[in-house]
Amino acid sequence: MRAVGDTLNTASVEFWFEFASTYSYLSAARIEDIATTAGVPVLWEPFLLGPIFAEQGWDDSPFNIYAAKGRYMWRDMERLCTKYCIPFTRPSRFPRNGLLAARIACLAKATSELWLPEFTRVVFQANLVFQANFAEDREIGDPAEIRSILDSLGQSGAQLVEQAQAPENKLRLREQSRRAKELGIFGAPSFVVGAELFWGNDRLEDALAWAGSRTGEARR
Amino acid sequence: MRAVGDTLNTASVEFWFEFASTYSYLSAARIEDIATTAGVPVLWEPFLLGPIFAEQGWDDSPFNIYAAKGRYMWRDMERLCTKYCIPFTRPSRFPRNGLLAARIACLAKATSELWLPEFTRVVFQANLVFQANFAEDREIGDPAEIRSILDSLGQSGAQLVEQAQAPENKLRLREQSRRAKELGIFGAPSFVVGAELFWGNDRLEDALAWAGSRTGEARR
């Protein structure tokens, strides 16, 4: 018989994502179904890769800096989205600025808002899936766009966008990005299970299996 | 009823590997079993990443240049080797010089030598698996080491090492590396099926599935 509170002893997976990361979109679309099947709780952890890339001397996405790698990534995304049955259209601009979306995600996380996963998926889709009702793929860096997404989720878009830009919330995102670096994260998506770091959408299943095999051990 | 020569219509997978690439070791160890099961022929394609990395401004392995990525890679290799039941010991020096081994592999390829896959696996193991009968992990850049490996495979080590360093064979490896670049290859291992490029040991299964689904079409 399972005692009440058993799930507290299940190792969880921290899902570290960045809105400008195409491979993060794949994991955001896939993680809930797979984690639910595996019985592993997921913690959604927004952060910014920009400061980490800057320390490596990059002022742009490595997919823009290294042309062959970039060409490959777009074709790889097409194939993977077909394989996973996930909609995808190459955006007209890459990378888009995910700062405001990440701040909204931090605000949701800090206030335990249940709409964080859905908000995350909708922002990725706005950036990476051509919407029939829009003339172009959407500019997720635009506050009006983020407000509209929040409103469509039944939230108070205008109010949340304002709160997200308050000093204490800006600090939350800086703290997240600092913690990401401390955890050894150098790309997105990344998954953290206890002391183990897994990098890339390709490691999602391995990270969940690792967490599953640690169920019953104390959480870190 | 299958006609004689049907296998000529099976799409093959080109397996592009570099001896200094740790993830190439994983694919070299795994590819034959999986490809045999899938009924897909494998073409072993040695090349050098050095010139491609140099064009990106790197004079060392990115795993040495980017410390967080390097720390991650060694832990990832440990976990993956455990998962695949492949022996692994972190080498005392990384990367080792794979130039001579790549030249030997080119010579084997040019002369249709059937020992190319086995030679490749043994060289990777010499570099990445601690041998109980050696005081240290082995220096695959050393001609004596390569000679000894060839001799252990029943080949004439001294003769092959000499032939491998003849001008026409040096040219073969340069030509391989030029072709790799032309194919859009920017890392190792890479897999090429017709016009499709797959990067990384994580894409081995996808590349074989792609080739399998094209069986019966004309080979490129």
How many other C-beta atoms lie within 10 A of the C-beta of residue A217? Answer: 11
- Find out whether B118 and B110 touch, Cβ atoms under 8 Å: no
Q: Locate the chain B residue with the closest alpha carbon to A55.
A: B66
* Residues of chain B contacting residue A79, judged by C-beta atoms under 8 Å apart: 196, 206
Chain A residues with beta carbon closer than 8 angstroms to that of B66:
56, 186
The chain B residue lying nearest A203, using CA atoms, is: B202
Sheet holding B13-17, edge to edge: B42-46, B13-17, B190-193, B196-199
Task: Give the model's pLDDT for residue A139.
Answer: 84
Q: Which two tokens stand for residue A77?
A: 């995304």
Closest residue to B184, CB basis, from A71, A184, A196: A71
Residue among A75, A81, A178, A183 with most chain B CBs within 10 A, to mutate: A75
Distances (CA, A) of A78 to A86, A128, B166: 9, 11, 44
Quick one: closest CA in B to A69, which residue?
Answer: B186
Each residue's pLDDT, cut to its tens digit, for chain B (220 residues) gives 344 444 445 799 999 999 999 999 999 999 999 999 999 999 999 999 999 999 888 999 999 999 999 999 999 999 999 999 999 988 888 998 999 999 999 999 999 899 999 999 999 998 888 765 544 567 889 999 999 999 999 999 999 999 999 999 999 999 999 999 999 999 999 999 999 999 999 999 999 999 999 865 544 4
Residue B71 at interface with chain A, using a CB cutoff of 8 Å:
yes
Q: Which residues pair with A17 in a beta bridge?
A: A46
* DSSP letter (8 states) at residue B26: H
Q: What is the pLDDT of residues A112-169, one digit of tens each?
A: 899 999 999 999 998 888 765 444 567 889 999 999 999 999 999 999 999 999 999 9
Which tens digit of pLDDT belongs to each residue from B93-135?
899 899 999 999 999 999 989 999 999 999 999 888 876 554 4
Strands B196-199 and B190-193: antiparallel
Torsional class of B80: left (φ above 0), alpha (ψ -120 to 50), beta (otherwise) = alpha
B202 in contact with A at a CB cutoff of 8 Å?
Answer: yes
C-beta atoms of A184 and B79 within 8 A? no
Where b means 16+ CB within 10 Å and e means fewer, B72-86 reads: bbeebbeebbeeeeb
End-to-end CA, chain B: 25
**Both structure tokens of A151:** 């409103």
Q: Which residues 173-192 of B are in CB contact (within 8 Å) with A?
A: 184-187
Q: What is the ipTM of this complex?
A: 0.89
Query: Can you name the residues that pair with B44 across neighbouring β-strands?
Result: B15
pTM beyond 0.80: yes
Q: Do B199 and A72 touch (CB under 8 A)?
A: yes
Which chain B residue shows the shortest CA-CA distance from A58? B66
CA distance A106 to B213: 44
